[in-house]
C-alpha cells in the first residue's frame, strides 16, 4: 500500500527543544551517531541533518562531517549550535556536493519525508556521495509510505548492495513484521 507523505514544515527551535528535553532527562539521543561511528568513518555526510544532532555528535568525536538539509529553520539551529561544521542548504534529491564520504547517513525518517516521486532520486543522489567501499545508512519507519522492497530496489538501481538490516540503531535483529528499519548498503 502506498501513502502520500507530505513533507512537514519544521520549526528548528521546537524540534531541537524536544531532543534537549530528552537529553536533560538522561535519555541517550545519540544512537544514530554511535551506530555510524561503529564503522570508523573519517568523513560523513549527514543528509537530512535537521538541527545537526547527529552531525554535531560525530564531529565531537573527530569525524569530518558535512550536514545537508533543505529546511532553513532546522539549518539555522544547526549553524547556531555548531558554526564550525559545514551546513549546506540543498534538496537531497538533487544534491551534488562534488565530494564523496565514507558514510552517508539518512537518520530520523529522512526517506519518508521525501515526496514519493523523488525517492529514487534521493537514493541515487545520496549513493553518488558514497566513496568506493563506503556505506549508505538509513533509518526510517516502514509503515509510512516507503516500503522496504521499494527502498531495496532504489538502492540496487543506485549501485548499492545490502550489507545489514536492523530494526533499531542499537542493532536489534530485523524481523519482517518490524515497522522500523536501519539499513546499511555498500558501494
**Residue 16 resides in a domain:** no
**Residue 149 resides in a domain:** yes
3-state secondary structure of 183: strand
At 73, which CATH number?
3.40.50.150
Number of structural domains found in the chain: 1
**Residue 19 resides in a domain:** no
Tens digit of each residue's pLDDT (9 = 90 or more) over 56-67: 999 999 999 999
Residue 109: DSSP 8-state: T
**Residue 7 resides in a domain:** no
pTM of the full predicted structure? 0.87
**Residue 9 resides in a domain:** no
**Residue 4 resides in a domain:** no
**Residue 151 resides in a domain:** yes
Task: Retrieve residue 107's grid coordinates.
Answer: 537518520
Tens digit of each residue's pLDDT (9 = 90 or more) over 156-181: 999 999 999 999 999 999 999 999 99
Q: Supply the range of the domain harboring residue 119.
A: 28-186
Q: Are 131 and 20 in contact (CB under 8 A)?
A: no
**Residue 89 resides in a domain:** yes
- Whether residue 85 has pLDDT greater than 50: yes
Write the DSSP string, 129-175: TEEEEEEEEEEEETTSS--HHHHHHHHHHTT-EEEEEESSTT-PBP-
Amino acid at each position: 500500500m502506498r501513502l502520500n507523505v507530505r513533507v512537514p514544515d519544521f520549526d528548528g527551535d521546537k524540534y531541537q527543544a524536544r531532543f534537549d528535553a530528552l537529553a536533560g532527562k538522561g535519555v541517550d539521543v545519540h544512537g544514530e551517531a554511535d551506530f555510524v561511528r561503529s564503522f570508523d568513518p573519517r568523513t560523513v555526510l549527514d543528509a537530512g541533518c535537521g538541527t545537526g544532532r547527529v552531525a554535531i555528535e560525530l564531529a565531537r568525536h573527530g569525524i569530518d562531517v558535512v550536514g545537508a538539509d533543505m529546511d532553513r529553520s532546522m539549518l539555522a539551529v544547526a549553524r547556531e549550535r555548531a558554526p564550525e561544521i559545514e551546513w549546506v542548504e540543498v534538496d537531497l534529491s538533487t544534491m551534488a556536493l562534488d565530494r564523496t564520504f565514507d558514510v552517508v547517513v539518512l537518520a530520523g525518517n529522512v526517506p519518508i519525508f521525501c515526496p514519493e516521486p523523488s525517492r529514487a532520486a534521493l537514493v541515487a543522489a545520496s549513493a553518488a556521495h558514497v566513496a568506493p567501499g563506503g556505506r549508505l545508512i538509513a533509518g526510517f519507519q516502514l509503515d509510512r509510505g516507503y516500503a522496504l522492497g521499494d527502498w531495496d530496489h532504489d538502492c540496487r538501481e543506485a549501485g548499492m548492495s545490502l550489507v545489514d538490516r536492523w530494526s533499531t540503531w542499537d542493532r536489534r535483529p530485523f524481523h519482517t513484521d518490524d515497522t522500523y528499519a536501519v539499513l546499511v548498503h555498500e558501494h
